[in-house]
A and B are shown apart, each in its own frame.
Chain A
C-alpha cells in the first residue's frame, strides 16, 4: 500500500522495475466490458433507437418517427398506471422499511436479553425473501383464494369474521398485492437495519444512559438519527427493486381486476407481449430507465467516498 503511494508517476520510464510497474487494469476488466457491452449495454442503447420507430412484432423494420413518443406519453391510461405504480411502490417500501426496522430493533433487543426465537424469526423471513417472484405470486393466490376454503378466508371464518374479497374487490386488491410484496421483501430491510444497528457506537448509548435517557429517548435521539443514512440507502434500494417487480404481480393478479394492479413494469410487459407494440414498449422502457437511474444516482451519492476516484 505505502510502497505504491509514494512511487512517483513516471509513465515515460515505462518499466521502473518489473514488480513496481503500474499494471493496466484493462486486460482485467475486458471480460466484464465485453459481456456487459454485448448483452446489456448494446440493447440498452438500442432501446432509444426503437423508441423513435413505429415497430411492432408483427413484422417489418418500421419507420423512424416521433409519434410513438407523443402517442405513448399521452395515453389516457398512463396516468392511472403511474398512480397504481406509485401506490404499490410507496405501500411496499414503507411497509418493508417500517416492519424491517421494527424486526431489527426487536431482534437486537432480544439477543441482548437472550430471548428465544430470534434466529428462527430471521431465517423464516429470509426464506420468504428467497422465494422466486412467480412462485410467491402463486402461493399468495392460494392464500387469497376467495372460495370458503381459501388460506386467509377460512382462517377469518374460523375466527368468526366476514370473508374478504382479496383479489376481486378493486379497492382491496392493491393492499393484497402490497401485503404479498411486503411478505417477500421485508427480510432485506430487516437484515440491512440489523447490520446498521450493530454498527452504532455503543459509547453513544452509554453516554445517553449517564444522562438518564429513557428507552424511548434513546430510540429517538440516538438510534434513529444514527440509522438515518442506512434507512435512506435502504429505501432507495427497495424502491428500485419494487419498481422492477412484476413477476410476483403477474402470477397473483395479472394486473387485474381491470387495471387495478397494473404497475408500470407489468404494463410495459403487456404492451410488448400482448399488444406486440415494440416501439411503445421501448418508450415505456425508457421511462422506467429514467426513473431507476435517477434513484441510482441518488444512491451513488450515499456510497462511501473512498471508492470514488
Chain B
C-alpha cells in the first residue's frame, strides 16, 4: 500500500498549500472587513480584536449618509453601465464581421485593435486632456464615457468574435436563403444566440469601468461628477489613523459591487479571460 500512503501524503501537502494560499488571498479582505466593523477604540487593539467585541455598523452609516459618497457611487455606476452598453453596441457589429466575413487585411485589423489593448491610458493622457478640453468635454460624463468605451472596445470585440465563432455558420446561410439580409441575420439570429458572450462582456466592461482611476482623474474636476475610484483616492489622502475604520468601510463599499458583479457571472468570465491566452 505504498502508493496510497504517498497519495495521502500528497493530499496532505495539497491541503497545506491551499490553506496557506487561502490565508494569503483572504487575509487582506478579512482585515478590511474587521476594520470596517470596529469602533475607534478597537482599531488600536490590532489583531487581538479580529472579531470586534463591539461590532458596529456606524462606519457604514457614516459613509453612506455623507454628502459625497453616494454621489461617487452613482457616478461610477452611471459611467460604467453606460460605457458597457456603448461598448457592446459599437463592438458587436465588428465582431460579427470578423467572425463571418473573409476580407483582405482581416488579421491586420484584428491585431491592430488588439494592440490598443496594450496601450495604457497613461500614454495618451496629455493629448487627451487638451483634446477633450477643446471639444468642451471636460467635466462631462459623456466625454468620459466615450473614452471608457474606446478603452473597452478592443477586448469586447475579440471576446464577442470568439463567442460568435462558436455559432454554426449554417444558421447564417439558412437565414440568408430565407431572405434575411446580413443585418437582420446579425440582429435576429446571432445576437440572441450570443447572449452569454454579451453578458460576460457587459460584466467585464462594467467591472473595468468601476475600477477606472486615471481617465476620470484626468477628465473630471468637479467633485459632484467624480466616480468612486477617484473619490476614494482623494478621501484616503485626507485621512489619518484615527479614522481608519471609516476609510475601511468606504473602501469595502467601493469594492463590493465589483465583487458581486464578478461572482454573478464567474464561470462565463473565466472562460472569456482564458480564451485569448490559451489558444496560442
Binding site for B on A (CB under 8 A): 1, 3-4, 19, 22-25, 27-29, 31-32, 35-36, 38-44, 46-47, 49-50, 99, 102-103, 106-107, 109-110, 113, 115, 117-118, 120-121, 123-128, 130-135, 138-143, 145, 147-151, 153-155, 157-158, 183, 186-188, 191-192, 194-196, 199, 215, 229-230, 233-234, 237, 240, 243-244, 246-247, 250-251, 265, 268-269, 272, 278, 281-282, 285-286, 288-289, 292-293, 295-296, 299-300, 302-304, 307-309
Contact = CB atoms under 8 A, between A and B. Distances in A.
A190 B45 CA distance: 35
Given A36-B153, A285-B126, A43 B131 contact: yes
Contacts of B214: 246-247, 269
Interface in B112-154: 113-116, 118-120, 122-128, 130-131, 146-147, 149-151, 153-154
Contact of B236 (A149, A199, A251): A251
13 contacts: A23-B101, A29-B93, A32-B153, A39-B149, A113-B11, A117-B22, A130-B207, A138-B247, A142-B244, A192-B277, A194-B274, A295-B118, A299-B118
A285 B213 contact: no
Given A109-B10, A115-B11, A117-B15, A47 B278 contact: no
Given A39-B147, A44-B123, A269-B122, A135 B232 contact: yes
Interface in B255-272: 255, 258-259, 262-263, 266, 270
Given A188-B273, A195-B274, A288-B123, A125 B21 contact: yes
B160 to A, nearest CB: 11
Interface string B227-270: 00100110010000100100110010011001100110010001
Contacts of A282: 126-127
9 closest pairs, A vs B, by CB?
A: A154-B46, A46-B127, A132-B211, A308-B107, A28-B97, A149-B46, A309-B107, A244-B120, A43-B124
Interface stretch (B29-37, B54-62, B63-71, B194-202): B29-37
Interface of B: 7, 10-11, 14-15, 17-19, 21-22, 24-29, 31-32, 35, 43-48, 89-91, 93-94, 96-98, 101-111, 113-116, 118-120, 122-128, 130-131, 146-147, 149-151, 153-154, 157, 169, 173, 176-177, 182, 207, 210-211, 213-214, 229, 232-233, 236, 241, 244, 247-248, 251, 254-255, 258-259, 262-263, 266, 270, 273-274, 277-280
Main secondary structure of the interface of B (DSSP, over half): helix
Nearest to B280: A302
Contacts of B7: 113
Contact of B210 (A28, A127, A132, A196): A132
B43, B96, B277: most-surrounded residue (chain A CB, <10 A): B277
Contacts of B211: 132-134
A149 to B, nearest CB: 4
B113 A36 contact: yes
Contacts of B176: 19
Nearest to B186: A28
B25 A191 contact: no
B251 A138 contact: yes
A268 B123 CA distance: 9
B101 A150 contact: no
Contact of A103 (B21, B118, B149): B21
Nearest to A304: B279
A294 to B, nearest CB: 10
B278 A149 contact: no
Contact of B274 (A46, A50, A118, A192): A192
Contact of A154 (B14, B22, B48, B263): B48
Contact of B22 (A32, A120, A158): A120
Contacts of B11: 110, 113, 115
Contact of A22 (B22, B101, B149): B101
A251 B229 CA distance: 11
B90 A135 contact: no
A23 B184 CA distance: 14
B229 A296 contact: no
Contact of A110 (B18, B104, B127, B244): B18
